[in-house]
Structures are given as structure tokens and as C-alpha cells.
Amino acid sequence: MAQKGVQIITVEPGSLAEEAGIRPGDTLLEIHGEAVLDQLNYQFLITREDEAGMLLQRPDGSTFKAYVENGGAGIGVDLAQDEVKVCKQNCVFCFVHQMPKGFRKSLYLKDEDVRLSFLYGHFTTLSSSDDGELDRIVRERLSPIHVSVHATEPAARIRVVGNPREGDILRKIDRLLAGGIDLHTQAVVAPGLNDGAVWQRTLDDLWARRREGRGSVLSLSCVPVGLTAHRENLPDVQDVDPAFARDWVARWTPEVRRYAKANDGEPWLLLADEWFTRAGIEVPGRAFYSKSWAQLENGVGLVRRFLEHSRRFIQSPKAKGFAGRKVLLLTGASFAPTLRRIATELNRAVGSHLRVAATKNFTFGETVTVAGLLCGEDLKYAAHADRDSKGGRADWVDAVVVPSASLRTHTGPTDQYTLRGVVVREEGTFLDDLTLPELATDLGVPTVPSGANLSHLLDHLEAADRGAFRGGALGKTFHTAGLNLPQGAYNP
């Protein structure tokens, strides 16, 4: 993680930094004699003592010292974005390797950064974290971290991550736990690869590392592998079909409850929703998920939470805002049955006319059923097909809704970090570069992102009533929940 200082982009007028003679363009090299590595490290160093002794460099290369009595708080500077670190693994199910050709370059970059894991809950295999970085995590108390374990048995892990140097994940995990860092963990499960005895050992090893107090494995989720139709020249990996998913649900659902009982009632072993959607089985009730919805962003409990939130919303006065609206909701095949149920309940309650179309993913292949990987052209095709089925009228619906999870802005929650090759844009862009305003223009009706729930959706439709659907800065016009998810992340 070595960087030669961090550049200062802006200095707040009247701030402590300005008083100390610091200017935009200077580079912050050291605080208290320690090299400043990045923004997180800056936060750690600047808040450590009441007075910060800093070494800075002017753009002409000259250096100077500044002392700021900041009382352990910020000094009024904005720092340059940090570059995201790149992954060193070669996972057999890596989404990036399964991408069709021809997408924008940045989508083929494999990012893996423990700082994003701490800040935003992204999963890391820890491949880009050497011992020095693990010690830094401990020192700066970057806890909890989200770790993709996949398998604790070294030979199996090497098979999964495709990197002979990364078999011993428990060594890294134990170093973090010993330093008091908590971990949420996951295993992406593929039949014949890391299920059976390999999975059982993973479960046993991680459960043995759950403890009271700091330095504990807080949860372990299992997620079914996701394969696209683009696996040329990649190792054979068996997909999770409905029969495998049904067996997995039958075998492990009782175990979730057993582990929860042994964990003071708090679910510790977590099953991703996709096991249930692939098996065609109703997701379990609220008690099956942790009180804090741990690993929600990883697809654990999203369906249950959506159902609960929707049913409360339908009882609320705000729901009447849907009355009379004729709306087409596009989503992936895995979430469509759930959304259809809720749309039916809402229609009955308030007299709306919401319809759901399960959108096929022609870009990645029909085995990909999550909403987050739908491309603009897939959604466009589904909307046109729906219009044709209704007689081709231009005003066949009042509005079309696309999943927020299928949109990226690149200026969303991870704007503290930059990926090499990424062009910053604020309007919503699908994976295939079609933008939300372009789709709206093509369809000729307001086209809005779904948001995370029905309340968000109504806000978006009302914004469209005022003409906002034509685009602009997406984050300013619409709720940002669900935008900018890491590619490949499961999300309905």
C-alpha cells in the first residue's frame, strides 16, 4: 500500500490548514514522522494527537513542516482519491473472466481492496494484503472486514482461487483475529469443488473462531456459484441447479437454526436468498436472518426484508400515491415472483396497475437471473416485447421501472476511490454503457430506477411526473440505495 504521500486537492477557506500555510496541490508526506499512505491512514494519524506535526511538499519539490493544533479533529483539507488495489487471484468462478468481450475496459479490472471491505462491506480474499497490510489493519482498527474464504482446506482453496500462494487463508484470518479484528466471512459454493467435506471443514474451522468479545468470526454465509454463458477456456465448474439448491436448503436450513441457538439466538451461519430462489422455495421468516441483517448486501435476507417493508408500506397512507398508476416493473427472473406477489397485493389494496416482466439476460446468458447483471439492451428488449404484447401502443404504460442494482454512476458510495480506466459520469449507466436517459428516450415513456423499496419507487415515479426521468445526475434526482453495487454482486 506504499504511496509517496497523498495530494491535497482543496483547502477550506479559514481552516486550520489554510492558517498553517497549506495550499491545494501540496502533497502530505508525513504526520508525526510517519508516512501518510492514503485517506484512511490520514484519518488515523490526524486524529491520534491534539497537535499534528506534518511534513509537506510543494509542487516544485520543496518540503516544509506545518504544526496544527487540531484537537484531534480534521484540519479542513480534501485529499486526492486513492487508487483501488488489484486482485491477485484467478478464481474459477470469477465474474470478470466470464464477461463477454466488448464491454468498457474498466469492467475487466479485478479490484480487491481491504479498505473497501472495511468502508463498504466489499468482500476480499485478502490476496492483495501482505503481512504489513494485515498489521496495519490491526493498528488502525479497520474492523469488521469481509473475507471471501471459500474453503479453509488449503488444496481446495487453491483450486477455487487459482493461486498456489493463497491456500492458507487461516493464517491471515488468525493474524487479524489475534489483533482484535472482527470478520464476516463467505464461501461461494460450487458442486464438487468446495461442497461436501470441504464445506464442512470450512464451517467447523470458522465456527471454532467465533468468540466473545473482539477478534471473532461474526458470520459465515454460503452463496451458490453464479456462471455466465461465457466460460470459454475456463476450468469446468458445475452450476447450482434447482435440485442441488433444494438439497442444500433441506440440509442446511435446520443447521442455521442450530448454530443460531448456540450463538445466543443470533444467526451465524447464513444462507443467501439465491439458494431459495433457485430451489423455487419461499424464503424463511424474519428470525432466520440476523437482527442487524448481517450480509444483506451479499444477498442474505434481501427478499425477506423487501417483503416485510412492502407489506408495511401497503398499509400506509403513502401507498395511495400508486392509485391508478400503470407501471411496468422489469427485474431478473430470480426476483420476479417475489415482486409479482407484492405488485398484486398493492394493486388490490390501492387500485394501481403494476405489472412485472421477468427480464431474460441475453448478454450474459439465461443462467444469469439476478437483476444486478441485466444490461440496458436486455431491459430495452423486455420493454419492447411487453409493449408489442399490448398492441404496440406508445402509451402502453405510464412508466417503466428498471432495477437500481443494474445501474452504476461511478460517483456513488465509493467515490473516495478510483479505478484505473474509469470515466467519471453522473448519469445512470448500465453495464453495456446504455444510459438511463437513452433508454427513456428509446421507450418514449418515463423510465426510472426502482430504488430499494416501494416508498423509493413512488418517490421516483413522482419525480418522473415532474420530468426528472430525462436523467442528469442520478444520485441527486433519485434514491441511491442499490446503485453502484460491485459487478457480480447478487441483488434482486
Which spans of this chain sit near ligand SF4 (rule: CB under 6 A)? Answer: 87, 89-91, 94, 96, 110, 112, 125
Which residue in 365, 361, 299, 303 sits closest to 332, CA to CA?
361
Q: At residue 71, what is the residue type? A: G
Q: Whose Cβ is closer to ligand SF4: residue 103's or residue 293's? A: 103
Judge whether 52 and 32 are in contact, CB under 8 Å.
yes
Name the residue nearer to ligand SF4 (CB basis): 124 or 310.
124
Please report which helix (H) or strand (E) contains residue 288, including its range: none
- Give the total residue count for the chain: 492
Contact, 367 vs 227, CB < 8 A?
Answer: yes
Beta strands in 212-352 (DSSP E): 217-224, 269-271, 326-332
Residue 91 or 402: which CB sits closer to ligand SF4?
Answer: 91
Q: Rounded to whole angstroms, how far apart are CA atoms 355 and 343?
A: 7
Torsional sign, CA 450, 454, 455, 459: positive
Q: How far is the CB of 86 from ligand SF4 (least distance, A)?
A: 9
Instruction: Select 1 or 481, whichever has its Cβ closest to ligand SF4.
Output: 1
For the record, the C-alpha cell of 223 comes out as 452463496
Q: Let me know: does 373 contact 431? Beta carbons within 8 Å.
A: yes
> In the bound complex, what is the minimum distance in angstroms from residue 231's beta carbon to ligand SF4?
13
* 44: alpha, beta or left? (left if phi > 0; alpha if psi -120 to 50): alpha
Q: How far is the CB of 151 from ligand SF4 (least distance, A)?
A: 13
Residues 109, 488: Cα–Cα separation, whole Å: 13
State the residue for C-alpha cell 444483506. Answer: 296
Separation between Cα atoms, residue 61 and residue 59, nearest integer Å: 5
Cβ nearer to ligand SF4, comparing 79 with 169: 169
User: Toward ligand SF4, which CB reaches closer, 79 or 161?
Assistant: 161
* 47/106 with CB nearer ligand SF4: 106
Q: How far is the CB of 127 from ligand SF4 (least distance, A)?
A: 6
β-pairing verdict for 27-31 and 6-11: antiparallel
Residue 299 or 321 with smaller CB distance to ligand SF4: 299
Report in angstroms how near the CB of residue 89 gets to ligand SF4 at its nearest: 4
Number of neighbouring beta carbons within 10 Å of residue 65: 10
CB of 112 to ligand SF4, least distance (A): 5
Q: How far is the CB of 59 from ligand SF4 (least distance, A)?
A: 36
Read off the amino acid at residue 250.
A
| Cell numbers representing residue 92 in the block | 474459477
429 DSSP assignment: B
In the complex, least distance from residue 78 CB atom to ligand SF4, rounded to whole angstroms: 29
